[in-house]
Every structure is written in C-alpha cells, then in structure tokens.
Chain A
Amino acid sequence: MNTFDFLLQGLAIAAQPINLFYALIGVTLGTLVGVLPGIGPALTVALLLPVTYQLDPAGSLIMFAGIYYGGMYGGSTTSILLNTPGESASIVTALEGNKMARAGRGGPALATAAIGSFVAGLIATIALAFIAPFVVKFALAFGPREYFALMVLAFVTVSAAFGDSTLRGLTSLFIGLALAIIGIDQLTGQTRMSFGIPDLLDGIEVTTLAVAMFAIGETLYVAAQGSRAPEKVEAVKGSLWMTKKDWARSWKPWLRGTAIGFPIGAMPAGGADVSSFLSYSAEKQFSKHPEEFGKGAIEGVAGPEAANNASAAGTLVPLLTLGLPTTATAAIMLAGFQQFGLQPGPLLFATNPQLVWGLIASLLIANFMLLVLNLPLIGLWVRLLTIPKPWLYAGILMFATLGTIGANPSVFELGMLLAFGLLGYVMRVMGYPIAPVVVGLILGPMAEQQLRRALSISQGDPTVLVSSPIAATLLVLAVLALVVPLIMRARGRGEVLSQVAGAED
C-alpha cells in the first residue's frame, strides 16, 4: 500500500462514530484547558491517561490528539479578548489581537486566528503524513551551533519587532534575560541567583511571568486610571466577520506562519513559542502596513496563530518517526503509546501503520471539528467585552490567580505573580514594552545553553559557531537584519523604510 491508501484507511478508522465521539470530547476538553492560563494540554492528557486505559489504543490517541489541537485553539481566545495568554505560544497573539479586540475588531481577530489555525493545522498534518521522514533529517542536522545561530537571528529580529523604541525594547529584553538566569544551571547543576529559596531552583515559570505581566499588570493599570480611563471599549464595530480586506491581509501570513511553524516544531529544541515570535517578526517585515503593528494589525494575529498550530503538528514528526518527545504533551502521548505496548520510533510506521495513519487522520478530523465548534462561538465570545469593566477585570484577576495556583499550588508562586504584576504595571506606566521580557525569559536559556554546548563539544574553539553551512547562513541573515535597516535609515529616503523608521523612533 502506498501513503495515500494508508491515509484513506486511517480516515476510515477515524471516521467511525465512536472515534468521532472521542475526538469531540478531546477537542472540547482541549479548548477548555487552553482557555485557562497555566493549565494546559500536557496536564490534561496526563490526568486522562488512567481513564483511557479502558479504551482501545486508537480511541485514546484520537482523544489525545483532539486535546492537543484544541489547546492550541483555546489559548488564542483569552489572549485576544482578555490579554491573558493561556499558553506561552499565544503570548504574541495577545499583542495585536487584544488591540484589535479593543478597537471593536475582536470578531475578525478571533476568526483569523481560528481559520489560520485550521489552515496551518491542515497543511502541517498533510505534511506530517507525506514528508515526515525528510523533515526529521533536516531537524536532526540542527546541533548546538545551528540552534545558537537560530537564537541569534530570533533575538535580532524579535527585539527590533517589539515596541516603538529599540532602546526600550532592548531594556525589556534584558530584564527577561536577567530573570532567565535564576535557577539551576542545566549544564553544571549549580544554582544561580536563587538565594537559597527552593521554589526558585527551577527558575521562573514563563506562564506565571506572562500572566502577571499581561493580565495583572493590565488590571492594575486600568484600576489606577480610575475614571480618567478612556471610555468603554466597543465590543463590535463594523463587521463581526472578516471583511474582504481582512481575508486579503490574512492568507499570506497563514501560509508564511505554516512554513515557519512546521519545521521549527519538528526540531527537538524548537517549539511553538519560538515559531510564533519568528512569525510575528516576519509579518512585521513583510507587512504593507507596518505602522499598524502595535495598534492591532491583523497580520500579527494571523501569522503567529498559524505558526503555533503548524508547530504542534511538527512536534509529532520526531515523536512518530524517532520516538522523540519534544514537548511535555508529546511526552505524555508517548507514555500513552507505551501503555499499549507500542514503541514509537523508526519502526512504528512499519509495525503499526493502521494506528499511525489513524492518528494522522484523526488530527485532520479534530481540525475540522474545531473550526466548526469555534466559528459560531465567536459572536458569543466577543460579548465578553461588553461586561462592565470592574466585573471584567475582577474576573481576569480571579482567572489568572486560579490558573497559577491550579498549575502549582504554592504561596510563593502567587507572590511572584503579584510581584511581576507590579513590575508589569510600572513598565506600562513608564512606556516600556512588556513582551520582550517574556521573550527574554524563553529564548535566553536556549541561547546560553546551546552556545555553551557548542563550545564544549568543540573544546573551546569559537570558529565552530560559523563552520557549518546552516549556522553560517542563519548568522549572515541575523547580521543583515541588523545592518540593512541601519544603512537604509542612513540613506533615509526609502518609502517603506521611512514608514518603519517613523514607527520605530
């Protein structure tokens, strides 16, 4: 049988009524946990493992796949409407999405996120089916030096992409990098900056920081403004649905986001958050409306949302072909496979083709189901914004606190949530962008560890960093991203550039 026959057979298995039912339970649960900050798909799948022991392997894996994709959808809803990212991958979505929601364009923002996720999920799942073995070869070619070069590129593009002032953006980024040092150093096992507090040994949770900075900081900011606050946000202005112009501005970011997300998700040290940052910077570069970024540009929602879903499918590439879980959710799905005595890995496609193709087919079905579930709900979701402000923000506070304490029942964690909330408030008042802090916390340790690993493998020879074609290419791109805008700004006449310069300084 060839790949196509296997896929059809898989679709037949996944389309059995009972399996459709499991998929429905999965996507519903996934959407719900995606909405709650702190509680994510990994946790849900872990808790469901013992329950699914009673099901057949196909049924339980189909349910897990639904939870996985559902979580990616759910995370964007709270990001857009409440500025409270449910997962680290939807942090970027909050930047433009929430601005759109406040301008009465919550409907189109949610729609472009949902359809973008669908398109990306669809393309990436098909890619998973047909080109997984090739992608995995490419992903394995990424060693420490290549990852380091990728991180350098991400730093350069991301710090330029966030905020109005490069200096302020960099200041925020360095606050994040400083926070990233806290905890046990992974390469030596020594603790750094933890001041003997056991809760700090594992460092600072990205979700705690993100929820505090975005949700708590925002709430304090609104409360501090009191009656001077701008009049209440309009829930819906113009069309609830995407206009022709929205479509025209969305489809390219969807495709670009997919192209960025899938390969990065397939890399053992890549990830949905990294791909969403890169997609955001790419969209800002390519956009015909760079001046709208930071004020609610639809491209800034469409691209990253497509990227994080594509990378969720990308994650399954190393899991199915190598037995290599690269995310917590994938690790627990691996435990799910093992519970049925199946060992994902190079032999799984040969020994259990029905199951693998059933899983891939059920991902396609889960994707359709999510679109059908989510689109009609948009009208309902945007009504959230019509809730009177004191109630809405009280609700956000409760939500954020509950999510944090649900993920880690610790008083210290709550204290950190509050402290970072205050920091977020101060930064907002002073006009510093907050997203780079979170980006620094995520990318900092990756860059540091990969650099040290690369140098350790080469026994201290720094030329190793540029001696691989992939690493050299990425570094050249990073240098170009840094230098080209400077040169063009010095010339000062390029049309687009003057716009960019105008927006950035």
Chain B
Amino acid sequence: MIGGRVEAETGGYGRETFKLGKPGTAPPVSSKDTAPEGAFGGRHLKHFLIASFMAGAMALPAYAADYTIVAPAAPGGGWDQTARSLQADLQKEKISGKVQVVNVPGAGGTIGLAQFASQQKGNANSLLVGGYVMVGAILTNKAPVTLDAITPIARLTGEYEAVVVPAASEIQNIGQLIEMLKKDPGAVSWAGGSAGGTDHIGAGLIAKAAGVDPTKINYIAYSGGGEALAAILGNQVTAGISSYGEFEPQVKAGTLRLLAVSSAERIEGADAPTLKESGLDVVLENWRMVAAAPGISEEQKAAITADVEKLVKSATWQETLTTKKWQDTFLAGKPFEEQLAKDIAATETILKDIGLVK
C-alpha cells in the first residue's frame, strides 16, 4: 500500500514524510503533474490556444496569461493544497488561462526552492509556493539557496499553533504547564511535527519566554501533526504543540484540552487564551506565501502582484479559505518583505537557542 506519513505542512521534512509505505518507506512521492485533465482539459486547451495565438499576434509576452506553480512538497500537504487552490481559483476567476502545478518534494521545500531559483531565473510565468517551514528548513539544512534567491510576492494564508494536553491530564491551564516546565524542563515532553519545524520552534519560544533554557526542552519530533496527535491522545507525552486545525476536532470532542494559542488575538471559536495574554511574549504564525522567480523586472513583479491581489479579493478565493479553514493573512509588497526579514532573523535566533543551528 502506498502511504506513509503525513507531514502537516510540507510533507517534505524528514524521511518519513509523505512517503509511500510507512515510516521511512518509499512514497509515491511527487510527480510532475499537469493541470487536471479530463474535466477541464478541453476548455483550457482552447484558452491556451487563443491566449498563445493572441500573444503571438500581438508580439506580447504571455506572462499575464499562464502560470506554472511549483509546490515544493509531495501532493497532499499544505503547500500542495495551496498551489492547487491557486490553480483552480486563478482559472475560475479567469485571471489566468492555463495554470499548471509541479511538485518538487524534499527537505522542507529547500530542494524545490533551489531548483526553482536556478531553473526559472527571469521567467515571469513561474511561481513558487512556500512558507514559514521553509525558513527553518533553510537554516537547519544549511541550504545553499535561501529565500534571498527568489522574489517574494505575498503572504496568503496562515495557521496558528495550539498547545494541548490529553483530557485525562492533571494540567488544567497553560500556567500549570509552565510551572512544571520551570521546575524540570525535561519532565515535560512535547509532541509535535518535525525537528526544527514550526512546532519545535513554538516549544522553544515558549520555554524562552518563560525563562527556561530552550536547549533543555524535551521535544519529541513526529513526522507530522497527525502522528503527534496519536501520541498525545494515547497519553504518551505531557503536552502537544501543532497547528490549531490539527487539534480542533479533538478539542471539540473533549478528548484534548486546549491550553493556549499562538495568535496575537484570540481565535474565534477556540476557548483558550493566547500565549501573550498568559504572560508569554510569543506570537507564531505558520504562514504560506507565493513567490516569483529571481531576475524579473519591476513591471513583471508588479503584474504578478496585481494578479495575486485580484485573486485574493475574489469571492472564489474567500470561499476556498472558508472551506479549507485557512486564515486570510494576506500581506504584499514592502510590508511583507519587512515581515519576512523579521521572521528570518527571529527564527535564526531561536534555532540557535534550541541548539539546532550552530
């Protein structure tokens, strides 16, 4: 059977992620796939033909018409779903006539990033989906190609982290968990996604904010939020940390107790304080972005940004966000670039504090 674990975000960190088979097994990894054929093929082909004909006739570059979106992860993970939602919605909104998704999985997205930066240079029809996990992966893998090598366009969506304990746990609130952590950091085992990923960073930030040495935290890495969830439900660990969406059904069903969330404001429908109001200065967002190739002109960059902005404002995209339960955290242009630089610097600091980056 094909199968394998599932990485909450990228499906690409660690060997188990999203692989065929099971832990450490081979996966049906990635594929080079094209736009959904069958249901859409005919119509798109026509659009494509018309678009290329017009482009040719008017001697215009075709960049306003079609895009190839690189998802640097195996099919099914968060980045892949983001890429495929972009594909469907860009076409539905007729912002682009023909959109393809290409999966290049591996190593927290850094393989896809490196390939994208070198092969798509100057190509304004090519987009890359990425996110916060990539920031950490670049640092821990000492990746030769960083986010400086691409042209960030906009942050699209985000998810916040949640801290939970099993319903049977004695711990009733985040304060008690922090007390335990202060008394003996090793006695609190945290289950979460891959080492150096958002969940691990979150646990490190919480420890640091509580005045506990982040190198002492007892973080148990799983291949993704799902497998970590099993460990938490099975009472194998003290607490769990992963994106709120992973835990929500269990919290609603009363099998997990939600202690705190990592957003700046309380999350609607989630009955828990933020870390901030609990006295821990931690705000952490696992965001996803779209970026363009390096070496494109300012006009090309502006055109892509305009297309993305048009999409984000459309009713189709808003509906996608609702059904997928993604938070709209759209941010583009200069503010996004500044936020990105801030995130990279903060992540480097905490990864050094945890001891994952020397």
Contacts and interface: CB of A to CB of B under 8 A. Distances in A.
Given A311-B1, A446-B23, A459-B186, A325 B226 contact: yes
- Most chain B C-beta atoms within 10 Å of own C-beta, residue among A190, A206, A441, A443: A206
Interface in B73-122: 74-77, 80-81, 84, 87-88, 105-107, 110-111, 114
Nearest to B21: A88
B3 A328 contact: yes
8 closest Cβ pairs, A-B complex: A327-B3, A271-B22, A206-B26, A46-B75, A345-B249, A40-B2, A445-B24, A189-B195
B327 interface: no
Interface in A181-240: 183-191, 198-199, 201-203, 205-210
A186 B111 contact: no
B84 A186 contact: no
B15 interface: yes
B310 interface: no
B300 interface: no
Contacts, number: 298
Interface string A291-322: 00000000000000000100110010010001
Contacts of B141: 184, 189, 191, 201
A125 interface: no
Given A324-B226, A341-B323, A457-B218, A187 B195 contact: yes
B160 interface: no
A271 B29 contact: no
B301 interface: no
Given A186-B14, A327-B2, A338-B323, A51 B250 contact: no
Interface in B1-47: 1-6, 12-33, 36, 38-40
A482 B54 CA distance: 74
A51 B39 contact: yes
Given A42-B3, A271-B1, A347-B253, A201 B323 contact: no
A488 interface: no
A194 B347 CA distance: 24
B28 A328 contact: yes
Interface stretch (A158-166, A247-255, A403-411, A419-427): A403-411
Interface of A: 38-43, 46-51, 53-54, 68, 71-72, 75, 87-89, 139-144, 180, 183-191, 198-199, 201-203, 205-210, 268-274, 308, 311-312, 315, 318, 322-332, 335, 338-341, 343-347, 406-409, 441-446, 449, 453, 456-457, 459
Given A46-B75, A272-B3, A345 B22 contact: no
B233 interface: yes
B252 A40 contact: no
- Most chain A C-beta atoms within 10 Å of own C-beta, residue among B23, B187, B194, B197: B23
Given A188-B195, A459-B186, A343 B248 contact: yes
B149 interface: no
B340 interface: no
A211 to B, nearest CB: 9
A183 B15 contact: yes
B2 A87 contact: yes
Nearest to B80: A46
A269 B38 CA distance: 36
Contact of B187 (A39, A343, A444, A459): A459
Given A46-B76, A184-B13, A201-B141, A457 B220 contact: yes
A161 to B, nearest CB: 19
B237 A457 contact: yes
28 contacts: A41-B1, A43-B30, A46-B75, A50-B84, A88-B22, A89-B21, A189-B13, A189-B140, A199-B111, A202-B15, A202-B105, A202-B107, A205-B26, A206-B26, A270-B22, A272-B21, A272-B22, A326-B5, A327-B6, A329-B2, A332-B76, A338-B323, A339-B323, A340-B323, A347-B249, A407-B30, A442-B24, A453-B220
A346 B249 contact: yes
Contacts of A459: 186-187, 218
Contacts of A311: 1
- Most chain A C-beta atoms within 10 Å of own C-beta, residue among B2, B25, B200, B237: B2
B1 A198 contact: no
A268 B23 contact: no
Nearest to A309: B1
B5 A456 contact: no
A268 B226 contact: yes
Contacts of A140: 230, 233-234
B19 A206 contact: yes
Interface string B221-246: 10100110111011011000000000
- Most chain B C-beta atoms within 10 Å of own C-beta, residue among A71, A139, A201: A201
B176 to A, nearest CB: 19
Given A88-B22, A180-B24, A202-B15, 8 more contacts: A186-B223, A201-B141, A205-B27, A272-B21, A327-B2, A328-B27, A442-B24, A445-B15
Interface string B207-221: 000000000001011
Nearest to A188: B195
A206 B25 contact: yes
A407 B29 contact: yes
B24 A446 contact: yes
Nearest to B27: A328
A384 to B, nearest CB: 23
B25 A198 contact: no
B189 to A, nearest CB: 5
B196 interface: yes
A397 B5 CA distance: 29
B20 A186 contact: no
A67 B154 CA distance: 36
A322 B229 contact: yes
Contacts of A202: 12, 14-15, 17, 105-107, 111
Contacts of A210: 26
A330 B3 contact: yes
A206 B22 CA distance: 10
B1 A345 contact: no
B324 interface: yes
Contact of B21 (A39, A87, A330): A87
Contacts of B249: 323, 343-347
A186 B5 CA distance: 12
A328 B27 CA distance: 8
Contact of B229 (A201, A207, A324): A324
Contacts of A185: 14, 195
Interface string B314-325: 000000000111
A87 B31 contact: no
Contact of B38 (A51, A143, A187, A273): A51
